Every structure is written in C-alpha cells, then in structure tokens.
C-alpha cells in the first residue's frame, strides 16, 4: 500500500502526478531546485524539499539529494515522471534498494529497451518486425552497401544507443554510404558516448504511431490505444492525437497485440509505449519508451482511464483495474504542447522569461496540464514546456475546431510561445485531411509567415518590447527575440541588442550608421550566467565591441558596447548570475 509519493520531477508532469495522488488520498512530496522554490509543483504538494542547485544536473538529477529527501520525508514510493531519471536503471535500483517503490517498469526492461538494437532483437524474438534492417552493429561500410543492394535505396543508418533521430543518416546510394556512416558514428559518439550503428530500409513518408500499454505484476498487459505523433519538427513533437486518423480498426488491433507481445517478452509492467512507423498499410516496430509519456493525456481523454492512477495502483502490487475487453475508446483527442519558443519565421527560438499573465482557455472538452501560473518564470535551465492543452471532441473535425478555438482564446503575456505555429498546423488542409507524415512540418508546412504572439505586457500593464539580440551558438550567429519591459529597454538598451524593428530600420536608413549611440549602461537582455568578461576599467571600447559573454538558453550570447568610450565600471565577474535588464558594464 503506497501512502506517500515523492515526485522526482518538476513542471507540468509533477503537477499532474501530484493531482492523481491527491485524488487517491496519497500524500505528496515535491522536490525543487533553487530556481523552483516558488514553482507550482512545490506549492501544490503536501510537502516540498529543496534539492539545492540551479541546473537539472545539480538538482533533479542529483540522486543523493533525492535519496536524502526520501529519508527525511518518509516517502514510500517515487514517481519519476518523464525525462530526468524516468528511464535510469541506476536510479530505479537505488530507490528499490531502500525498500521504496519505483513507480515504473522493472530495471531489466528499461535496460533491454534502452539500446535500439537489443530492443529490435527483443521485438523480433516476440514476432514483431522492425523495418527491415540489420540486428548486428555495423563493422564496415560494405555491409551498408550490401544491404542497400539487397533491400533498395534509400537506407537509414542509425545510432544503436541513440534516440530522437540524432545520429540518423539517410543514404540515397552506395556512393554516399562511406561519408554517411562516418558522420553517423561520429555524431553518435559525441551525442551518446557510443558509436555503434545499424542500418534499415528508409521509409520515405511514414506516420509515427505509438501504442500505449500498461501491465501489472500479475502478468496482465493490455493495450490502451494508439497516438499519432506525426506532426513533429526536428524530432520534437508539436501535436499528438488519438485515435490516429485514417487508421483501420484491424490495424489498430494488430498493432495493440504486437505492442503487448513486445511488453510481455521483456517482462514489462507499469505504463509504457511501443513506437511504430506506419506506411502503406504496414507497421514496423521502432522502439519502446519505458516511461509515462508527455502525450499520455490524449489516451486518457478517449478512454476515460487515469493512467497515472493506474501506474500507482500496479506499482503497489494491485492488478489492473480493467481487462482488455473493458477498454472502450470514444471521440477524438488532440494535444498541443505549449512551449516557450518563438516560432516567428519558423525559427522556434527559445523564449524564456517571466510569465506576466497566463489565462488558459476553458469550456467543454478542454484540459490544461500546466506547470506555471501568472508570475512564474520559465527558466533557460530546464525544458521549455509551459504545459499541454488537450482537447476532446466527438470526432476529429470537432476536436480540430475546438483546438483552434482554444488556441485563439489562450492568453500568455510575457513570453513568446509556439501557439502561432500550432494554429498554422491545425488550419492546414494537409492536417485536416491527415496527409501529413513525420516529414511534413519540415518539408511542406510553410511557417515563414508565422509571427510572434501579440506584444506582451508586464503585470503593471507596461508594454514589453521585443529586442533582437545577436547570439553565437557553436560558431554560428543567430538573432534571438527577447521580450523586455519598454522602460528597461529604454533606460539600459542591451548593447548588442537591436532596438524595436522600427527604430532599427530608421538608424540603418541613415546610411548604415548602425544603432544610435546608447547610454553606456550596458545591460543584459535576459537572465543568464556571465561566462567571460572581455574588458577592464580604463579600456577604450568601440560601439558594438563585445564586452562580456552571457550564457543563457544553453547558448553563449555576446553582449556588446552600445557606445564608444572608456570602461568606467565592470560590475560582474565570470560565474555571476544576472537577471534580465541588469547593467554589467558602464562606459563613459
């Protein structure tokens, strides 16, 4: 019997799990980093403990700190959410070694499914085929060429210990194979510390369909329903839905039974998701996710099953509360991930900052799983998911119409979000007619005309202006939009940042004279950490010269002088944390 659950996560999923526990009368323990001291999940839980540290590595990925909170709180179970430790066998074993229940699958199943080759072998052994490919690590490019000759081009070279498409290379012909294999292995080594790769036939226009399963510790495993996650951009899911459109019931049942076979083959229990590629009426095993997924609510809305409650139930040793025949699916659900990213021009640039006001839509069939309230800060240190908007309708057209209404009603001031891009996707005829595939967003959908959301305002109603800041990431230059209170922008124009577009056009209209001279009070345009100071008091500097480097949004941003002159003050040193609008250098 589980009586107190520690949620080893943050944001919307921590809030989601806390709510399920509270409905079951189970006490909740939240953990939080220094930046999340006032976060929604810490406020909602019955108890909340500091982990210390700012970054995920210092806090939510600090095993010892979490084990210490288990001791102090007396939690008898841990829910990992997704991401962080959710698929970490060492963490799961550390928890169970203390006699505490890990609300998730057995570590052995996590291990089998963590390696894309061993997961393929497990699926093949269960009689579930992956895309035709090799089940041994490649030892030479000749194997790739031989495979392409036998199965046809293009082929896909994939990282065995990879995920999310990183390390994947599509090879159109034998001539391209040597460079592709070298590149795939190099990226796999950099990204995952392992360079083993394998090869498959490449599906050119697949749908990404995943099957939710859940099992108890008495050998019962059921398939709950599928989700279509094809609307993705750079392997980041944007829109998920259930049921999959144009998906025949016999295929659904066959895919469900295949997913159950894969789960049973690795002794799986608790919630899990088996991913497939679907093309030309055939489905192929892709991989298995041994965690609760972000998009689980679409399955909950069409089945009425609370998957988190069921996870807790089976983790405590109870049997599933339903059989396969009990599961009925009704209507259509769509999930929209609301990320703190600015989709303007299709660039999806990170847009961390303070949420001045958030007013989620309401009404029939509208669910908001959010991790933030008005006044909360979306930090550059964590995933930028603000929350998920999940809509239910009696059929897909109704669900699409409801989703568009809700997105247009959604009010978020203070940060830019992906909402404008989501509207563009939902309005597109390809989406309505389900002609999209995993490549549609990047190859067909035109987001170049997407603008940011309306100019935000601060709590006091002051307009925020968008500042374009030049940043450099891995040697490549980007312009990032940052929203700052107009007064801060006027008082301390962040050197290196351009003024509002109209001002910038005026200055460049004067023969490229560059931005007008600033005040000399060089401010940073966003929260971050100073990593380099490039000047000292007394130095002569030119307007536009880099004076310090700010790490924010996992990028290095050059902060530049807004006027020529002499450095009068240096107010920061490497390692200092600074907030949006803080003056770091003064030039006279």
- Is 200 near ligand MV4 (CB under 6 A)? yes
Of 33 and 289, nearer to ligand MV4 (C-beta) is 289
The three-state secondary structure class of 89 is helix
Q: Cα–Cα distance between 263 and 268 in angstroms, integer?
A: 5
Tell the smallest beta-carbon distance from residue 169 to ligand MV4 (Å).
11
> Could you tell me whether strands 169-171 and 197-201 are parallel, antiparallel, or unpaired per DSSP bridges?
unpaired
Which H or E run contains 406?
helix 396-409
Of 187 and 306, nearer to ligand MV4 (C-beta) is 187
Of 196 and 376, nearer to ligand MV4 (C-beta) is 196
Tell the smallest beta-carbon distance from residue 153 to ligand MV4 (Å).
12
Nearest by Cα to 262 from 428, 109, 78: 109
Instruction: Annotate 312-366 with DSSP letters as a single string.
Output: HHHHTTPPPSS-GGG----SEEEEEEEESEE-GGG--EE--EE-SEEE---STTE
Stretch that binds ligand MV4, among 142-150, 195-203, 331-339, 451-459 (CB under 6 A): 195-203
Q: Cα–Cα distance between 117 and 188 in angstroms, integer?
A: 14
Tell the smallest beta-carbon distance from residue 164 to ligand MV4 (Å).
6
Of 77 and 197, nearer to ligand MV4 (C-beta) is 197
- Is 235 near ligand MV4 (CB under 6 A)? yes
- Is 202 near ligand MV4 (CB under 6 A)? yes
Tell the smallest beta-carbon distance from residue 183 to ligand MV4 (Å).
16
* Residues of this chain, 435-464, that bind ligand MV4 according to CB under 6 A: 438
The three-state secondary structure class of 430 is helix
- Is 152 near ligand MV4 (CB under 6 A)? no
* Residues of this chain, 247-286, that bind ligand MV4 according to CB under 6 A: 277, 286
Which H or E run contains 207?
strand 207-215
Q: Cα–Cα distance between 60 and 55 in angstroms, integer?
A: 8
**Binds ligand MV4 (CB under 6 A): choice among 61, 78, 113, 156:** 156
Of 116 and 367, nearer to ligand MV4 (C-beta) is 116
Stretch that binds ligand MV4, among 74-82, 162-170, 455-463, 492-500 (CB under 6 A): 162-170
**Binds ligand MV4 (CB under 6 A): choice among 52, 127, 152, 164:** 164
Joined together, the tokens standing for residue 564 give 């020529």
β partners of residue 411? 359
Q: Find out whether the peptide bond into 395 is cis, omega within 30 degrees of 0.
A: no
Q: Residues touching ligand MV4: how many (CB under 6 A)?
A: 17
- Is 568 near ligand MV4 (CB under 6 A)? no
**Binds ligand MV4 (CB under 6 A): choice among 144, 203, 209, 445:** 203
Tell the smallest beta-carbon distance from residue 404 to ligand MV4 (Å).
24
Stretch that binds ligand MV4, among 142-150, 203-211, 332-340, 370-378 (CB under 6 A): 203-211
Q: Cα–Cα distance between 579 and 583 in angstroms, integer?
A: 9
Stretch that binds ligand MV4, among 86-94, 200-208, 458-466, 545-553 (CB under 6 A): 200-208
Nearest by Cα to 481 from 316, 315, 344: 344
Q: Are 546 and 534 in contact (CB under 8 A)?
A: yes
Query: What's the Cα-to-Cα distance from 555 to each of 44, 127, 476, rounded to whole Å?
Result: 32, 45, 11
Q: Show Cβ contacts of residue 472 under 8 Å, excluding neighbours closer than 6 positions.
A: 478, 555, 556, 557, 558
Angle between helices 89-97 and 63-73 (to 10 degrees): 30
Tell the smallest beta-carbon distance from residue 55 to ligand MV4 (Å).
26
Tell the smallest beta-carbon distance from residue 79 to ligand MV4 (Å).
25
Q: Are 428 and 364 in contact (CB under 8 A)?
A: no
For residues 109 to 148, the per-residue mask of contacts with ligand MV4, x marking binding by CB under 6 A and - elsewhere, is ----------------------x-----------------
Q: Cα–Cα distance between 2 and 411 in angstroms, integer?
A: 38
Of 112 and 572, nearer to ligand MV4 (C-beta) is 112
Phi, psi of 478 (to 5 degrees): -130, 155
Of 199 and 494, nearer to ligand MV4 (C-beta) is 199
Of 279 and 316, nearer to ligand MV4 (C-beta) is 279
Residues forming contacts to ligand MV4 in the complex (CB under 6 A) are 131, 156, 164-165, 168, 200-203, 206, 208, 232, 235, 277, 286-287, 438
């Amino acid at each position: 019997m589980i009586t107190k659950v520690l949620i080893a996560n943050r944001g919307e999923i921590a809030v989601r799990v806390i709510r399920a526990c509270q409905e079951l009368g189970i006490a909740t323990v939240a953990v939080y980093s220094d930046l999340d001291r006032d976060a929604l999940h810490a406020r909602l839980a019955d108890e909340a403990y500091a982990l210390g540290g700012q970054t995920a590595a210092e806090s939510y990925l600090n095993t010892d700190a979490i084990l210490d909170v288990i001791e102090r709180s007396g939690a008898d179970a841990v829910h990992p959410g997704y991401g962080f430790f959710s698929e970490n066998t060492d963490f799961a074993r550390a928890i169970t070694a203390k006699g505490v229940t890990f609300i998730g699958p057995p570590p052995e199943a996590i291990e089998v499914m963590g390696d894309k080759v061993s997961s393929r072998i497990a699926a093949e052994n269960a009689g579930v085929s992956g895309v035709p490919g090799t089940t041994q690590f490649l030892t030479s490019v000749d194997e790739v060429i031989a495979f392409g000759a036998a199965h046809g081009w293009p082929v896909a070279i994939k990282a065995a210990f990879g995920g999310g498409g990183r390390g994947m290379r599509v090879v159109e012909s034998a001539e391209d194979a040597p460079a592709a294999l070298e590149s795939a292995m190099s990226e796999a080594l950099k990204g995952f510390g392992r360079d083993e790769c394998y090869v498959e036939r490449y599906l050119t226009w697949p749908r990404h369909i995943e099957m939710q399963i859940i099992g108890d510790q008495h050998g019962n495993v059921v398939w709950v329903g599928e989700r279509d996650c094809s609307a993705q951009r750079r392997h980041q899911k944007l829109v998920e839905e259930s049921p999959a459109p144009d998906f025949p019931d016999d295929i659904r049942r066959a895919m469900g039974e295949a997913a159950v076979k894969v789960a049973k083959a690795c002794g799986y229990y608790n919630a899990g998701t088996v991913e497939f590629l679907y093309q030309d009426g055939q489905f192929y095993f892709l991989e298995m996710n041994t965690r609760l997924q972000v998009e689980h609510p679409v399955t909950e809305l069409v089945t009425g099953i609370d998957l988190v409650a069921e996870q807790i139930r089976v983790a405590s040793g109870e049997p599933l509360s339903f059989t396969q025949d009990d599961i009925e699916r009704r209507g259509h659900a769509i999930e929209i991930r609301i990320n703190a990213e600015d989709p303007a021009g299709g660039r999806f640039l990170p847009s961390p900052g303070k949420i001045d006001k958030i007013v989620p839509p309401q009404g029939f069939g509208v669910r908001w799983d959010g991790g933030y309230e008005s006044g909360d800060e979306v930090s550059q240190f964590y995933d930028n998911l603000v929350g998920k908007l999940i809509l239910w309708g009696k059929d897909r057209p109704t669900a699409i119409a409801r989703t568009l209404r809700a997105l247009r009603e959604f009010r978020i001031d203070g940060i830019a979000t992906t909402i404008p891009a989501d509207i563009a996707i939902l309005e597109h005829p390809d989406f309505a007619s389900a002609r999209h595939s995993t490549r549609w967003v990047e190859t067909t959908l035109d987001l170049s005309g997407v603008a940011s959301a309306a100019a935000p305002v601060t709590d006091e109603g002051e307009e925020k202006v968008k500042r374009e800041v030049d940043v450099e990431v891995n040697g490549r230059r980007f312009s990032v939009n940052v929203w700052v209170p107009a007064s801060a922008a006027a008082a301390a124009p962040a050197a290196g940042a351009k003024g509002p577009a109209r001002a910038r056009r005026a200055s460049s209209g004067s023969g490229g004279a560059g931005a007008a001279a600033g005040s000399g009070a060089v401010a940073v345009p966003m929260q971050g950490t100073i990593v380099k100071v490039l000047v000292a008091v007394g130095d002569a500097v030119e307007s536009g010269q880099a004076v310090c480097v700010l790490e924010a949004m996992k990028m290095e941003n050059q902060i530049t002088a807004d006027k020529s002159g002499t450095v009068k003050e240096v107010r920061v040193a490497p390692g200092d944390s600074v907030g949006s609008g803080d003056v770091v250098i003064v030039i006279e």
